Amino acid sequence: MEYNIAVLGGDGIGPEVTAQARRVLEAVGAAYDHRFTFREGLVGGIAIDTEGTALPDATMELCRASDAVLFGAVGGPKWDDPTAEVRPEQGLLALRKGLGLFANLRPVKLEPALIEASTIKADVLRGTDMFVLRELTGGIYFGERGRRDEGRTAFDTMIYTVPEIERVVRMACELARGRRKHVTSVDKANVLETSRLWRETATRVAREYPDVQVEHLLVDACAMHLIRRPASFDVIVTENMFGDILTDEASMLAGSMGMLPSASLAEGSMGLYEPIHGSAPDIAGQGIANPIGAILSAALLLRHSLKLEAEAQAVEQAVQNMLAEGYRTRDIAEPSAETVSTDVMGTLIAERLRA
Which one of 32, 129, 248, 343 is the catalytic residue?
248
Q: In what order do the strands lie in the sheet with 129-135?
A: 35-40, 2-10, 68-73, 271-275, 261-265, 103-109, 129-135, 235-238, 182-187, 213-218
Tell me how far apart the alpha carbons of residues 355 and 349 are, in angstroms, rounded to a whole number: 10
Tell me how far apart the alpha carbons of residues 100 and 138 are, in angstroms, rounded to a whole number: 11
Which one of 97, 181, 244, 343 is the catalytic residue?
244
Tell me how far apart the alpha carbons of residues 294 and 88 are, in angstroms, rounded to a whole number: 19
Enumerate residues 6+ apart whose C-beta is below 8 A from 196.
187, 189
Tell me how far apart the alpha carbons of residues 18 and 59 are, in angstroms, rounded to a whole number: 16
What Å distances lie between residue 257 and 38, 253, 276, 352, CA to CA?
A: 26, 9, 6, 24
Which one of 49, 80, 156, 220 is the catalytic residue?
220
Q: Is 248 a catalytic residue?
A: yes
Q: Is 156 a catalytic residue?
A: no
State whether residue 28 is helix, strand or coil: helix
Tell me how far apart the alpha carbons of residues 258 and 76 are, in angstroms, rounded to a whole number: 17
DSSP notation for 155-200: EE-----HHHHHHHHHHHHHHHHTTTSEEEEEE-TTT-HHHHHHHH
Q: Is 121 a catalytic residue?
A: no
Q: Is 141 a catalytic residue?
A: yes
Which one of 32, 141, 181, 343 is the catalytic residue?
141
Q: Is 327 a catalytic residue?
A: no
Which one of 67, 188, 273, 327 is the catalytic residue?
188
Residues tagged active-site: 141, 188, 220, 244, 248
